[in-house]
Amino acid sequence: MLGRVSGAHGVRGWLKVKPGSRQHDILLGYPFWQFKTSTDWIERRVMEAKVHSSGLVARIEGITDRDEAQALKGQEIAIWHDELPELEAGEYYWSDLIGLKVVTQSGVQLGVLDRFVETGANDVFVVCGETEHWLPYLPDDVVLKIDIESQTMEVNWDPEF
C-alpha cells in the first residue's frame, strides 16, 4: 500500500491522500492508481495530484463532487508492482517482504511477517505466530538475511522476547 484515501478535499471531488511512507510524493508521477474496494482493486486515472500539507491531494477521473470523493475514504491506494523502479541488489520493497517466514539463527520459527510500523526512530516488522513479535528493522544486527526465493527472513532475535 502506498497510500490511503483519508477524505475529501474541497467540493469538486478532490481526494485527501495519506501516504503510506515517509516519502509523501511517492504516488506522484504515476498516471493510474489502484484503489482497494471491499472486494477488489479498481484502476483509476489520476488527472492531477500534488503534495499538500502532510499528504497529497488528487483529482481522479470520474470523481466530480465531495460526496463521491468522501465515498472513497479508507480505500488503500497502490500501483502495479512492475511500475516500481528496479532496486539495487539487497534492496526490497516492503510489499515483497509481507508473508515471509521469519526464523531465528537457531531455526526457531517466529511466524510470518504481517506488516510494518513506522515509528520515527526505526521501522518495525510485526511478525505474527504463536505470539506477536515486534522486531526493529536493523540490517545486520536484527535482520540478518532475506531470501525472497525461499520466502524466509533470518533474524537475530530471542523468541521469548
The pLDDT-based confidence of 103 (bands split at 50, 70, 90) is very high
State the chain's mean pLDDT as an integer. 92
Question: How large a percentage of the chain has pLDDT more than 90?
Answer: 72
**Which pLDDT tens digit goes with each residue over 60-69?**
999 999 999 9
**Which pLDDT tens digit goes with each residue over 104-140?**
999 999 999 999 887 877 889 999 999 999 999 999 9
Q: 12-38: buried (b, 16+ CB within 10 Å) or exposed (e) per residue?
A: ebbbbbebbeeebebbeebeebbbbee
Mean pLDDT, residues 52-78: 95
- Quote the CA–CA distance of 154 and 157 in Å, as a whole number: 9
Residues of the chain with CATH 2.30.30.240: 94-155
Is CATH 2.30.30.240 the classification given to domain 94-155?
yes
**Which pLDDT tens digit goes with each residue over 4-16?**
999 999 999 999 9
Instruction: Quote the cell numbers at residue 25.
Output: 510524493
SS3 of 3-55: the string is: EEEEEEECCCCEEEEEECCCCCCCCCCCCEEEEECCCCEEEEEEEEEEEECCE
Q: Return the pLDDT at 119.
A: 80
Residues of the chain with CATH 2.40.30.60: 3-82
Fold for domain 3-82?
Answer: Elongation Factor Tu (Ef-tu); domain 3 (2.40.30)
Q: Which amino acid is at 69?
A: A
